[in-house]
């Protein structure tokens, strides 16, 4: 009986803290230092499985780079996607909703993420098709950016969805619905999500008028509210950030912090040269792109 109680207690703890509790923010125009856009995500997840920064070259579609992950044989062939940026300069990141998740939310989110990355070149184009993309009873929370705008699209149930697009403002997501027309879809908000959201809202109140890469780097590393209720949590396994300055190619910055894999960090200018010079597959330990990739490469005798 004591064993059963222990298992139930641990299960309740896992549910209450929300392991897959990601945090995403986006800024555009006068809200981003130097103009353009800035978007970022902390990916929180169990330490099982794997994650990779990989390049995809779908035939006849936009090429894209994505933070992908998987936990079983199925996803080795069809990996899930947490965040990605395509050759047109469109970035999309996704967070799980805490309430009423489908049986396989990762598959649902990845299907939509892949469609956006392969077929769309701007926030405006996605906004035009928002009902088809987000109004299909596939609950999830998406942030998008291009060089001009950032957007928040929250997909709920019963064909409900809500969107906010801004050329001079801020968008954000944790793991609950906060746009008006989908508030009804909040059925359960874990304590960790409530606490993390409170921290984020407080930061948004006191943030600089124009947010810099340094400001977001510090935000994503913030852990003062404890291992489960901070922006950076004990389950944070990656940080994905894209800075898209006006009239320049976007710059992707990624840190993989999953403790079951070698540490990797990347800073990549996502220009035409990058997509033309990379083959489809993971960028693991590629010294051309990884800040610390060379530390993880297997040494060979010359």
Assigned domain for 229 exists: yes
Pairing mode, strands 170-173 and 161-166 = unpaired
Assigned domain for 15 exists: no
pLDDT digit string (tens) for the chain, length 302 residues? 443 333 333 333 333 345 567 999 999 999 999 999 999 999 998 888 888 999 999 999 999 999 999 876 666 556 899 999 999 999 999 999 987 666 677 888 999 999 999 999 999 999 999 999 999 989 999 999 999 999 999 999 999 999 999 999 999 999 999 999 999 999 888 888 899 999 999 999 999 999 999 999 999 998 888 888 888 888 889 999 999 999 999 999 999 988 888 888 999 999 999 999 999 988 875 667 765 443 333 333 33
What the block records as the tokens of 226 is 């404890």
CATH number of the domain bearing residue 126:
3.60.60.10
What the block records as the tokens of 157 is 């149930």
| pTM (2 d.p.) | 0.89
Assigned domain for 14 exists: no
Tokens 């400001």 locate to: 215
C-alpha to C-alpha distance for 175 and 140, rounded to whole angstroms:
9
C-alpha separations of 201 from 153, 192, 246, 299 in Å: 18, 14, 27, 46
The pair phi, psi for residue 233, each rounded to 5°, is -115, 170
C-alpha to C-alpha distance for 121 and 125, rounded to whole angstroms:
7
C-alpha to C-alpha distance for 221 and 230, rounded to whole angstroms:
9
Whether the CB-CB separation of 150 and 27 falls below 8 Å is answered with yes
Assigned domain for 270 exists: yes
Assigned domain for 301 exists: no
What is the residue range of 180's domain?
A: 20-288
C-alpha to C-alpha distance for 181 and 217, rounded to whole angstroms:
32
Assigned domain for 189 exists: yes
Q: How many domains does the chain have?
A: 1
């Amino acid at each position: 009986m004591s064993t059963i109680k222990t298992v139930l207690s641990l299960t309740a703890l896992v549910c209450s803290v929300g392991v897959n509790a990601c945090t995403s923010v986006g800024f555009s125009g006068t809200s981003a230092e130097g103009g353009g856009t800035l978007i970022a995500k902390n990916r929180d997840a169990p330490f099982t499985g794997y994650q990779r920064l990989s390049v995809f070259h779908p035939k006849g579609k936009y090429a894209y780079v994505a933070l992908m992950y998987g936990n079983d044989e199925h996803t080795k062939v069809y990996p899930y996607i947490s965040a990605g940026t395509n050759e047109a300069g469109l970035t999309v990141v996704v967070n799980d909703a805490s309430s009423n998740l489908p049986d396989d939310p990762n598959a649902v989110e990845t299907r939509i993420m892949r469609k956006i990355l392969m077929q769309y070149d701007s926030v405006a184009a996605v906004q035009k098709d928002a009902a088809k993309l987000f109004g299909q009873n596939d609950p999830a929370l998406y942030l998008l950016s291009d060089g001009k705008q950032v957007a928040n699209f929250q997909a709920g149930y019963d064909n409900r969805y809500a969107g906010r697009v801004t050329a001079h403002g801020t968008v954000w997501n944790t793991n609950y619905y906060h746009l008006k027309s989908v508030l009804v879809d909040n059925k359960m908000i874990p304590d960790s999500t409530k606490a993390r959201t409170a921290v984020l809202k407080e930061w948004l109140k006191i943030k600089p008028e124009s947010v810099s890469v340094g400001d977001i780097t510090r935000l994503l590393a913030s852990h003062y509210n404890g291992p489960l209720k901070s922006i950076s949590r004990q389950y944070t396994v990656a940080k994905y950030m894209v800075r898209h300055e006006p009239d320049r190619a976007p710059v992707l910055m990624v840190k993989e912090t999953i403790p079951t894999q070698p540490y990797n960090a990347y800073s990549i200018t996502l220009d035409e040269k990058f997509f033309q010079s990379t083959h489809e597959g993971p960028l693991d330990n590629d010294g051309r792109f990884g800040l610390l990739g060379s530390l993880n490469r297997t040494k060979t005798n010359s």
